[in-house]
Amino acid sequence: MCLPITNKYINIFRLTKTGRRSLSHSISHSSTDSNSSGGSDAENPEDEVSPRDMQQINSKGNMDFCIKNIKLADFGRREIELAEDEMTALMALRKAAQGEKPLAAAKIVGCTHVTAQTAVLFETLKVLGAQCRWAACNIYSTQDEVAAALAEQDFPVFAWKGESEDDFWWCIDRCVNVEGWEPNMILDDGGDMTHWIYKKYPHLFKKVKGIVEESITGIHRLHQLSKAGKLCVPAINVNDSVTKQKFDNLYCCRESILDSLKKTTDIMFGGKQVAICGYGEVGKGCSAALKAMGSVVYVTEIDPICALQACMDGFRLAKLGDVVRHVDMVITCTGNKNVVVREHMDLMKNGCVVCNMGRSNTEIDVNSLQTPELVWQHVRAQVDHIIWPDGKRIVLLAEGRVLNLSSSTVPIYVLSITATTQALALIELFNAPEGRYKQDVYLLPKKLDEYVASLHLQTFDAHLTELTDEQAKYMGLSKYGPFKPSYYR
């Protein structure tokens, strides 16, 4: 049975919620610095009234939404169209499945960022047959003009940039607390929608066929519920599908480490000595990128297998303490805590750059730098100098938080992979035969994961080979996948 969760539980959740970057300054984001085209900022003065206090109506007479300003719809529609141009994989899925309507009868409540890219996702869900209601998962990230474009198309969206905490939950509530409409699917990013339903409307879970969750935080919550025996519907963890993981960690970080470092410092990579802590996917991406730019990279690892890979890839494996005196940069990618501690930083040479590409903000012990003898100098956004009594300064980026979340944008390609994975997870859970999924947290089935990849191959003008019947038989595989066991990475 699904019990409501106590308030105390909520607070714990809020405290541990990890920020997710999800915004792209893609070629479609003309709005962000081009007001001339009639953007939202020009309207600011009259927007001082809270959206909750305004009654807006779209051109068709519909009022089931709550957004900043319905007049921004045209501009938002252009943004969405540009995003459609770039999210070819998701659009291909939309086209392929629109006849079949695999989400007919699905009633989805969504709680994600509200941006041009996610709008393409939600409009795809609609084309595939779903009814949706949608709130923002972040009080700052909503693109108001996109929300307006959706509202203009009768899409029930409740989100604006600059919500208060109270607004945030009010919007979520407006999605689920509807007369005569009960959701049967949840699309969540951070677990807030799920949490709200658990807390306020647990009876709704009777009809819910599943939850699709994107964020690490939300997945952590679901696992906790599952352990506690309180998870009462199946859930799919979208974050850990192979395709998404490889892009988020390996391929994306390979590019964003360079990007982030250049945006915050003007360090030249050639010839620099760099210590990279951790040789998982993120560490592999960072190491490869810096090596390619001419840096000399030292790797630290605790796992001998990853360590041996680092050796075979041409990196010196060292303990941080043994190289920290002479490196020009230290980058953490371990997912662990206190990887770089005060003792290390005391040994660093003048000008050493310290930053974190791992998952938590615990990898660098920033607290240990909050002592009277050290002077902090805020140099520019994301950059602090910490100055030792003898004049030595280290350059701390993003205060030890994840560097590329704050100093880099997510390529739209990666957003497309996420959105496509979410759509397929919804389709899978909604259509799965009784019994395929229990009250547990699942990964996307391998075959669908492969399908996400195949949709994204098209961008590269890449041509897959098809198994012949004879080959499929020889290998004991279906011609249409899955081609590897589920654990294969």
369-388: contacts with its own copies (CB under 8 A) = 377-381, 383, 385
Instruction: Pick between residue 70 and residue 402 the one whose CB is nearest to its own copies.
Output: 402
Token pair for 277:
């802590």
Stretch that binds its own copies, among 152-160, 194-202, 220-228, 446-454 (CB under 8 A): 446-454
Token pair for 312:
């075979």
Binding mask 456-485 for its own copies (x = CB under 8 A): xx-xxxxxxxxxx-xx--xx-----x-xx-
Using CB under 8 A as the binding rule, whether residue 405 contacts its own copies is answered as no
| Binding site, annotated residues for NAD(+) | 280-285, 301, 404
Residue 17 beta carbon to its own copies: minimum distance, rounded to whole angstroms: 18
- Sequence-ordered list of residues with C-beta below 8 angstroms from that of 3, at least 6 positions apart, any chain: 198, 202, 230
Using CB under 8 A as the binding rule, whether residue 217 contacts its own copies is answered as no
Q: Are strands 383-387 and 375-380 parallel, antiparallel or unpaired?
A: antiparallel
Residues in 426-445 at the binding interface with its own copies, rule: CB under 8 A? none
Instruction: Pick between residue 127 and residue 387 the one whose CB is nearest to its own copies.
Output: 387
Residue 229 beta carbon to its own copies: minimum distance, rounded to whole angstroms: 20
N- to C-terminal Cα distance for the chain? Answer: 36
Using CB under 8 A as the binding rule, whether residue 351 contacts its own copies is answered as yes
Residues in 237-296 at the binding interface with its own copies, rule: CB under 8 A? 242-243, 246-247, 250-252, 254-255, 258-259, 262-263, 265-273, 277, 288-289, 291-296
Contact in structure between 16 and 217 (CB atoms under 8 Å): yes
Using CB under 8 A as the binding rule, whether residue 99 contacts its own copies is answered as no
| CA 321 – CA 59 distance, rounded (Å) | 65
| Binding site, annotated residues | 115, 189, 214, 244, 248, 280-285, 301, 404
Contact in structure between 277 and 334 (CB atoms under 8 Å): yes
Binding mask 155-194 for its own copies (x = CB under 8 A): ----------------------------------------
- Is the preceding omega at residue 234 within 30 degrees of 0, hence cis? no
Using CB under 8 A as the binding rule, whether residue 38 contacts its own copies is answered as no
Using CB under 8 A as the binding rule, whether residue 47 contacts its own copies is answered as no
The single residue listed with the structure tokens 């190491």 is 287
Instruction: Pick between residue 434 and residue 469 the one whose CB is nearest to its own copies.
Output: 469
